[in-house]
Structure 1
Amino acid sequence: MIEKKDVSLERAVLIGIVTKDQDESKLKEYLDELEFLTFTAGGYAVKRFTQKMDMPNPKTFIGSGKMEDVRSFIEENDIGTAIFDDELSAAQERNISKILNVKVLDRTNLILDIFAQRAQTSYARTQVELAQCEYLLPRLRGMWTHLERQKGGIGMRGPGETEIETDRRIVRDKIALLKDRIKKIDKQMAVQRGNRGQMVRVALVGYTNVGKSTLMNTISKSEVFAENKLFATLDTTVRKVVIQNLPFLLSDTVGFIRKLPTQLVDSFKSTLDEVREADLLLHVVDISHPNFEEHIDSVNKILGEIKSSDKPTIMVFNKIDAYQAEPLDEDDLETERTEKHYSLEEWKSTWMSKVGNNALFISALNKQNLEDFKKRVYDEVREIHITRFPYNHFLYPDYNYEDMG
C-alpha cells in the first residue's frame, strides 16, 4: 500500500541494479541517498525497483521483464517520473522514455536540477547552466521525441526550459559563451581573493549534509543557510573570524557526493578555488552516518582531483550527539561484531590512531566539545601564521578560547 504524501511533491519511482561491483547493501545505500536527493528536488519516491545484472542493459539499462514491471506500476499509480541511480546514455534515456512514456531522469540530471534550485549568485547560476548544457548536448536527439510530455518540475529547471527547441550548434555556442563568462568572473574573484590580504585561510570541506554550514554559523556567529537537505549550501561563503587580534578567513564550500557528475566537477572547479588556496582544511564528517568512511574516501578522491589532498587537514567528526551503535546481543554467538557495533569511544580510538592527533569529535548543533575544537583550530592557524610571518608572531600571545568568534 502506498503511503499518502504531500500532494505538492512529484511522484517518482527509483531504479537501480545489483552488479558484481555493487552488492545489495551498497545499492540500498545508494537508493537511500537517491531518495533523499529526490526529496530535496521536490519529489517523493513511491517505490524502488532493483534487478541483479552482470552489467547494465546497453539499450534500456534494466531487462525487458523488469522494465515491463516498472511500466505497469507507473500506469497504475499515476507516476510522473522514473529516476535511475546511474547515469544513462543518450540512447538509453531515449529508449526508456519511449517505453515508460514519462519523464526519465538519472542521478546526474537530478543533482543538476538541485543545483539549479540552490544557485543564488550569478556565478553559481552560470556554472550550473554550463553543466546542464554540457549534459544536454549529447541528448538533443531524444529531446525532440519526448520532451513535449515533460511539463516542468524535477529535471526541467534552468536551460532545459529554454534550450529544448535548439540544435547542437546553438547549444555549443551557449557553452562557449558560458565558459567565457566564467573566465571573466574567475578573474574578478581572483582579484577579490588577492585583496583579502595575508590572512590564513581555512576551508570547511566534506560530504553533503554533514553539518558544515552549522559549524560555520557556530564558529563565525554568522547566518549561513543550513537545513537537513542535500546541497543546502551551493555558493561558497567566506567569513572573517578573529581570535583576539589574530584574524583568519573561514570558507564554507559546496558539499561533495558519490557519483558526482563529471560536468559539475569541471564547472565547479572555480568555486573550489577556496579549497585549493586554503592553508588548512577542516574535513567535516557525519559520524552518525553508517557509511561515513566511504564518504571520507569520496571527499578525498575529489580533493585529489583538484590537487588539494596534500594540504594540512583536521578530521572533524560531527554529530556525535546523533551517533548510535547497533546493539549486539551477547547471547547471539553467530552474529559477527563489525564496525557498525563500535561505540563512539572505539571510533575515537580507531581514528586517533589513523591520523595521529588530527581528529576531533564534536556536535556543532549542540555545541559539544567545541572548546577542544576551537583550541585546535587556533593552534593550527597560529602556527601557520608564525611560519609565514615570523617577524610579528609576538603580537599573538596565548588566547582565551572561549572568546573565539
Structure 2
Amino acid sequence: MENFLYDIPTKVYFGEGQIAHLPEAIKEYGSRVLLCYGSGSIKKIGLYDEIIRLCKDHQIELFELCDIEPNPRVTSVNEGVRLCREHKIDVVLAVGGGSTIDCAKVIASSVDYEGDAWDIVLDKKKIKNVLPIIAVLTLSATGSEMDHGAVISNLETHDKIGVGHPDMAPRYAFEDPTYTYSVSPYQTAAGTADIMSHIMECYFQSTPGTYLVDRFAEALLKTCIHYGPIAWKEPENYEARANLMWASSWAINGLLKYGKSQSWTVHPMEHELSAYYDITHGVGLAILTPNWMSYILKEETLDKFVEYGINVWNIDKNLPKKEIAEKSILATREFFNSLGIASTLKEVGIGEEKLALMAEKAAASLSNAYVPLNKDDVLTIFQNSLV
C-alpha cells in the first residue's frame, strides 16, 4: 500500500427531507446564488419550487442557468461564468445529476479566469480561485456530488476532457433518495453501470497490499449488483434508491484510491465515444468494460480476475482459475444486459468510421494503465465492441 493523505471534505445531508438545511448551508458563503439545472426534471418532481420557496424565505437571491446538457458543454460553462460575473454570485448551486454538478464545478472555477473556460479544462493550473459549490443530487451515477473532478465536452473539437482541483469538491451535498424516484429505468441502468465502472477503475490496479480498499470496492460492487435491478424494477423502492445513491458517492470520492496507484482505462476510451457521438456515458462504459476485461485477461492479471469472480460474483473457488476469470467477465456482461443496456456499439449508432481516430486519442493517456494500451490495443477493443 502506498502513502496517502486522507481528505474527503464534502459535508453530506443524506435522507428524505434534508433539503430543509439548504438555506443554512448557502448562508455560510453568501446570499447570491447561481442555480444550475438541466432539462427541467427538477420542476416535474417539485424540487425546483421547494428550493425557490426555501431561498425566498431566507432572503437568498437566485439567478438561473438551465438546460445544461447530459454531456455538459463548455458553451454552458461560459454562459454560467457570464452570469456569475454579472450578478456577483457568492455560491454556485447545482441541482441535478453529475452533468449539472460537473458544469457547476467548472463555472465556479472559471469566474476569476479572464479567458475561455476551456483553457481551464485543458490546464487546471490556471485555476486560481473556486466559488463555493453546493450540490443537490437527483441521479445516482457519476459521484460528482462528493469528488473534486468534472468532465466537460467541446463539440467544436470533439473533445471530452476531465479536470480536477481540490476546491472543486462541493462544500455540501444533499442526497435525498426520493429525488431519484422519477429516474427512468434506462437512466437507472446507465447510472448503475457508471457507478460500477468507477469502482472497477480503482479495483483493477496492480498496487500490492491493498486488501482493505479492495474489500470496500467489492462491497460497493455487490451493492450495485443487488440494488440496481431492484431500483430498475421498483423505481420508488427507498432502500434500493438510498443504497445506490450512497454507493455512487463512495465509488469516486477518493476512498477506493487511497494507497493505490491510479490510472483509469475504460473511462478515457468511453470519453471518446461520447465526444464524437454524444451517447449516454454509462451505456458506453457497459459496452466497453467486458470487452476490455477479455482483452487484458492474461497470466499477469488472472489472479485479480479470480479474486473478482469469487468475491463479487460468488463463482465457485474450486473451478480452474481461467474458468473463474472467464465466468466473471461473462457475469459482468450478463448483468448489464439484464438491465436492458446495449451490448454493442452498433446498437447505439456507432460504426467503424471513427474508431481509429478515437483509439489514437484515447491511447494518449493509457501508457500507465493497469494494463498499458496503445492505439492498436484500443482499436481492437473498439472493434470487438462493435457487434
Q: TM-score, normalised by structure 1?
A: 0.29
Larger radius of gyration: 1
Q: Report which of the two has the higher share of helix.
A: 2
